[in-house]
Amino acid sequence: MSLPAQTLAVRLPRALLDPGGHPNAALLPAGDAEGLLSVTLTLADGRIAAIEPRQPSSSAEATCPEALPLALPPLLEPHAHLDKAFSWTDFPNRDGSMAGALEANTREAAVRSTALVLERGERALDQAWRYGLRALRSHIDSGGPQEQPSWEALLELQQRWDGRLALQLTALVPLAHWATAEGEALARRVAAAGGLLGGVLGPPFSEGYSHGDQLQHLLQLADRHGCGLDLHIDESDRQPGRGLRLLLRELKRSPVAVPITCSHCSSLALLPEEQQRRLAAGLAERNVAVVVLPTTNLWMLGRRHGLTGPLRPIAPLKLLQQEGVCAAIGGDNVQDPWYPGGDFDPVELLRLSLPALQLPPWLRQGLMPFTTAASRLLGLDWDGVLRPGGPADLLVLGASSWSELLARPTQRRVLRAGRWLEPPHSQRPDPRLASLGETPPNAG
């Protein structure tokens, strides 16, 4: 059933607007001090029919344009772990260490079932969609008894969510696994499912250990099967940049044609700037993209004997951008042994990332990691720029400026193909609070 045309007045980042072939295209002015422009969108048949600069309809709006809601295109999650999401309660990691997380993760994976992963994944994707995500890449613990049930569940969810939320799947195993017969068989199955190959490359790097050979084997395997690669690399506060250096060395030895993503790259930030730039330029030259993951890095890295250490490295996003690397931001772990929080909410991730990475949302570079760069990294058809003829998909916020968005958590409405979604559970009235009744007469 087609919808009648409707109009919507919102404030949009000018950097994410393309007036396209509209007759008023030349009239679409620059953004204000926060890079925002008040526009009227005409929506018809699930698509944007026109974008026009807003003519104030009232004197109040003329003097106070910020009364309109801030809107964004739906956002993207380039790095998640749906298979273990929401497992924190049963498998907590109270000391927040990597070793503790790995130990709890291993115990959890041993009891994973198809039904459990289906339940976790469905809950995660439903929340993600209602929060305003349109695509998500998940890594899946593979190479053990959890492999079969996890892939079975997530492949079913990929089908179930097709057309609403694009789900990409990456096999996560120890690097050495890809050289085994089981690893070869897994690569064939992943390739048949259109997935990606992944692995972990990080400290301890010891002399004589064959990281380079293992990595070279994985690169060739991915290339042979035509699978993209997404590596957890240098997620550490020591031996800075060793994994990236190794990757570039192996790519120089034998280049591959498949797209490569490096997730984390945290310890890169600990190198002197000149070395960071050299490695970043090498990544750009080889078309290697980076996913920056501030939440889990802030939670796990730099802990020192029960104290908060002075260094909690996060990949140097702005430097990577300056050197021409396609860099996106992801949420990583959600309520699992690696991080107890998170909720697949891209707005909360944006609110954390702006201060954590000192990003300016009023500039194109500040928004790219959540929108256009993330879309390019995921190889999606829509770049995330709003234009006539594009999808009538919007994330409309209960805030009118970046300052207001940073000031407090916000409500939102999500529009997909011209229709409003029901809000996620977290945005509905909380029954735990409603049951408390009215304010007591003697309060305050």
User: Rounded to an integer, what distance in angstroms lies between the CA atom of residue 172 and that of residue 157?
Assistant: 18
Nearer to Zn ion, 316 or 331 (CB): 331
* 214, amino acid identity: Q
Question: Smallest distance from the beta carbon of 385 to Zn ion, in angstroms?
Answer: 28
Residue whose CB is less far from Zn ion, 77 or 332 = 332
Q: For residue 340, which of 111, 79, 87 has the smallest C-alpha distance?
A: 87
Q: How far is the CB of 80 from Zn ion (least distance, A)?
A: 8
3-state secondary structure of 1: coil
**Order of all β-strands in the sheet with 6-13:** 6-13, 36-44, 47-53
Give the helix ranges, DSSP H, for 98-168.
Answer: 98-110, 114-131, 147-160
Print the binding letters for residues 34-73 with Zn ion: x by CB under 5 A, - otherwise.
Answer: ----------------------------------------
- H-only helix segments in 193-301: 211-225, 242-253, 273-285, 294-300
| For residue 204, cis peptide bond before it (omega within 30 degrees of 0) | yes
Q: How far is the CB of 140 from Zn ion (least distance, A)?
A: 11
The count of chain residues that interact with Zn ion, using the rule CB under 5 A, is 1
Buried b (16+ CB within 10 A) or exposed e, 172-197: bbebbbbeeeebeebbeebbeeebbb
Q: Based on CB atoms, which residue is closest to Zn ion, 331 or 366?
A: 331
Contacts of Zn ion in 381-410 (CB under 5 A): none
What the block records as the tokens of 311 is: 């260094």
CB of residue 79 to Zn ion, shortest distance in Å: 6
Instruction: Tell me the residue type at 209.
Output: Y
Where in 314-353 is the site for Zn ion (CB under 5 A)? 332
Closest to Zn ion by CB, 234 or 332: 332
Which is nearer to Zn ion, 38 or 236 (by Cβ)? 236
Please, what is the minimum distance in Å from the beta carbon of residue 264 to Zn ion? 7
Min CB(376)–Zn ion separation in Å:
20
Q: Considering the complex, state which of residue 362 and residue 370 has its C-beta at the smaller distance from Zn ion.
A: 370
Q: Are 36 and 72 in contact (CB under 8 A)?
A: no
**Shortest reach from residue 105's CB to Zn ion, in Å:** 11
Strands 75-80 and 303-304: unpaired
**Residue with smaller CB distance to Zn ion, 141 or 332:** 332
Q: C-alpha angle 45/48/50, rounded to 5°?
A: 120
Computed on alpha carbons and rounded to an integer, the radius of gyration of the chain in Å comes to 23
Query: Of the two residues 267 and 400, which places its CB atom closer to Zn ion in the complex?
Result: 267
Which phi and psi angles does 66 have, rounded to 5°? -70, -5
CB of 175 to Zn ion, least distance (A): 15
Q: Which is nearer to Zn ion, 38 or 142 (CB)?
A: 142
Question: Which burial class, exposed, middle or buried, applies to 254 when counting CB atoms under 10 A from its CB (0-12, 13-18, 19+)?
Answer: exposed
Kindly state the smallest distance separating residue 78's Cβ from Zn ion, in Å.
10
Residue nearest to Zn ion (CB): 332
Which stretches of the chain bind Zn ion, using CB under 5 A? Answer: 332
